Amino acid sequence: MTIAFPEKFVAGVVAHINEDHRREMLDLAHGLAGQNWASEASLLHADKHGLDLLLHAADREERLRVTFDEPLERPNQFRPALIALIQRARQALPDSAATSSRRSIELSDALYNYLHAVSLREPEVLQQLRAETARNPEGRMQVGPEQGQFMALLLQLIGAQRTIEIGVFTGYSTLWTALALPANGRIVACDVNAEWTSIGQRYWAEAGVAHKIDLCLAPAAETLAALLADNQAGQFDFAFIDADKASYDEYYEQCLQLLRPGGLIAIDNVLWGGAVADETQQDADTRALRALNAKLHSDDRIDISMLPVGDGLTLARKRLGA
């Protein structure tokens, strides 16, 4: 005979689930479901044999039934049985941080500040440019300082000398690049906005790197086409694509020709605030990014890695035979 706990008891258990408990239930749900998509779990129902959890993700929900080792005979066995379930689920996982072991950690403000405090080496001129950009109504378009520093490290790793920047804005990512390049380094910097880029030009001069930057105020596809027409294919080490999203595919194809084998393309905003994974989002920019992401996945001209840095950053290395 199945004895369900009285509804009042279940309601009481649900009401007493505090934040710690909720996190444990989420661990439990992740561990038992063997999936990492659930962002929340709530308890729907409990009876002597187990629990019904509801797992929530951004766009879906799923019920999960978990059973106790032995049927409970008294309501006061509920809590120890729940703890035993959680322990069992944790043992099955590589570590107790079920979510962080399998996907990138979520950055709270405190953790983001900590990351900056222990790793950022942003030169003062870049700090000043970032502060000025933050006062611009479009300031959110600028990459974060940790991303700028990461790309500077990449440039040093591949020994870059000639690079392409598609989308300059106030010149922040361009300045990180210019500072990372050797004295003979050169950047072809593409943008269409003279007002924003003039802010960058002031800081490039202040940093003593203006001579490395060739600012081309024209639609980027035209600038890149002109480089190709000028026999510059295979002459560049690195390209950063961060302008109008609808043209990303065209920029990618042009950059792939302009890069040397082993050269690197970094493509920004590939996660697009999460919209790429949300099928209800069908605007032109989201569709363009989604299509490009799918294309790159199976493009055998490149090696790729999509990183959850900033708004998503894909690194694509041109293969030696490509």
* Residues making contact with ligand SAM (CB under 6 A): 141-143, 167-170, 172-173, 190-193, 196, 219-220, 242-244, 247
| Shortest distance, position 236 Cβ to Ca ion, whole Å | 20
Distance CA 320, CA 291 (A): 25
**How far are the Cα atoms of 7, 67, 238, 263 from residue 295, in angstroms, in the given order?**
52, 43, 20, 19
Among ligand SAM, Ca ion, none, partner that 193 touches (CB below 5 to 8 angstroms by kind): ligand SAM
**DSSP-derived 3-state class of residue 292:** helix
Distance CA 266, CA 237 (A): 11
Q: Output the six-digit token pair for 172.
A: 């922040």
Q: Which residues would be at the binding site for Ca ion (CB under 5 A)? A: 242, 268-269
**DSSP-derived 3-state class of residue 26:** helix
| Shortest distance, position 248 Cβ to Ca ion, whole Å | 11
> Closer CB to Ca ion, residue 166 or residue 213?
166
**How far are the Cα atoms of 150, 173, 212 from residue 193, in angstroms, in the given order?**
26, 16, 20
Which amino acid type is present at position 22? R
> Closer CB to ligand SAM, residue 128 or residue 193?
193
Among ligand SAM, Ca ion, none, partner that 37 touches (CB below 5 to 8 angstroms by kind): none
> Closer CB to Ca ion, residue 26 or residue 289?
289
> Closer CB to ligand SAM, residue 80 or residue 274?
274
| Shortest distance, position 25 Cβ to ligand SAM, whole Å | 40
Q: Output the six-digit token pair for 4.
A: 């369900």
> Closer CB to ligand SAM, residue 220 or residue 256?
220
Distance CA 152, CA 157 (A): 9
| Shortest distance, position 50 Cβ to Ca ion, whole Å | 47
> Closer CB to ligand SAM, residue 82 or residue 168?
168
| Shortest distance, position 265 Cβ to Ca ion, whole Å | 14
| Shortest distance, position 169 Cβ to Ca ion, whole Å | 8
Q: Which residues pair with 46 in a beta bridge?
A: 51
Among ligand SAM, Ca ion, none, partner that 13 touches (CB below 5 to 8 angstroms by kind): none
**DSSP-derived 3-state class of residue 300:** coil
